[in-house]
C-alpha cells in the first residue's frame, strides 16, 4: 500500500491523510497493489486519501480468497497493518501471516515460557569497562530462574559492547576522563535500554 499526492482540484477519492511523500497541505489518494510471486501486478485498488492500512489489508485478504481463489498464502506485514480484524480475516481464509510482536506480547510469552531463548544465544560473553567495571552477559535459559524481560530497544548485547569499547578508548586517550563515571554511564545504559536483567 502506498499514497500518491494529488495536485488537481477535484477528485472524489482525494483527501488528507498520512502523507508518505512528505507533501504537506496536499490531498492524496491511497493505492493498494497486489503482485504475484514474480512481482508482476495482478490487482490495484484506489482508496480515499485518509484510509489507513487495516481496511486495505482486509480488502486484499478478501480479494486473494474470493477473486483469485488462493488457498496457500503467507502474508507479511507490520503491526500497523496486521491488526486484530486482519488476523481474524486471515484465520477465516486459512492464510498464514508473519508480523512483529509488541513489547507486551513478548513479555507475556516470556512469562509463559513460550519462547526458547536458548535458540537465540547460548554463549556467555565477557567484556570490561575501564576502572574495573566487569560485565558478563548471558541470555537466560527458560526454566532456570526468573527470566528478565527482553530488551525493547532491539539494541542488545553487541551494541552495549560497542559502547563499552568506545568508552574504554576515550578513558585511555583522555587522562582527565573519570573512570568512576564509566561505571555510572554503564549502569545508566543498562537501565535506559532495559538490559540490567541481561547483564551481570
Per-residue pLDDT of 139-176, as tens digits, reads: 333 333 443 444 444 455 677 778 778 887 888 888 78
Flag whether pLDDT at 82 surpasses 50: yes
Most confident stretch, 17-26, 39-48, 109-118: 39-48
Burial grade of 160 (CB within 10 A; 0-12, 13-18, 19 or more)? buried
Q: Percent of the chain, pLDDT > 90?
A: 4
- DSSP-derived letter for residue 119 is G
**Which pLDDT value is given to residue 99?**
87
**Which pLDDT value is given to residue 40?**
92
**Which pLDDT value is given to residue 200?**
55
* Ramachandran category for residue 25: left, alpha or beta (phi over 0 → left; psi -120 to 50 → alpha): left
Q: Grade residue 198 by pLDDT with cuts at 50, 70 and 90.
A: low
Strand partners, 3: 30
Mean model confidence pLDDT for the chain: 75
Residues 6+ apart with CB under 8 A from 50: 15, 16, 17, 30
**Tell me: the pLDDT tens digits for 85-122?**
888 898 899 998 888 888 888 888 888 888 777 666 64
Q: Grade residue 74 by pLDDT with cuts at 50, 70 and 90.
A: confident
**Which pLDDT value is given to residue 145?**
40
Amino acid at each position: 500500500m502506498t499514497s500518491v499526492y494529488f495536485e488537481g482540484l477535484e477528485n472524489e477519492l482525494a483527501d488528507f491523510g498520512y502523507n508518505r511523500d512528505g507533501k504537506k497541505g496536499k490531498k492524496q489518494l491511497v493505492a493498494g497493489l497486489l503482485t504475484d510471486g514474480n512481482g508482476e501486478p495482478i490487482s490495484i485498488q484506489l482508496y480515499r486519501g485518509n484510509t489507513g492500512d487495516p481496511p486495505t489489508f482486509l480488502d486484499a485478504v478478501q480479494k486473494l480468497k474470493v477473486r483469485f481463489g488462493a488457498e496457500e498464502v503467507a502474508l507479511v506485514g507490520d503491526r500497523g497493518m496486521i491488526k486484530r480484524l486482519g488476523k481474524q480475516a486471515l484465520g477465516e481464509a486459512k492464510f498464514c501471516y508473519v508480523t512483529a510482536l509488541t513489547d507486551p506480547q513478548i513479555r507475556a510469552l516470556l512469562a509463559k515460557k513460550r519462547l526458547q531463548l536458548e535458540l537465540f544465544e547460548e554463549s556467555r560473553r565477557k567484556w570490561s569497562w575501564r576502572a574495573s567495571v566487569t560485565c558478563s552477559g548471558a541470555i537466560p535459559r527458560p526454566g532456570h530462574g526468573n527470566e528478565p524481560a527482553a530488551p525493547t530497544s532491539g539494541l542488545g548485547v553487541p551494541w552495549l559492547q560497542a559502547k563499552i569499547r568506545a568508552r574504554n578508548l576515550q578513558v585511555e586517550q583522555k587522562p582527565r576522563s573519570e573512570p568512576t563515571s564509566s561505571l555510572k554511564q554503564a549502569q545508566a545504559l543498562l537501565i535506559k535500554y532495559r538490559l540490567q536483567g541481561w547483564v551481570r
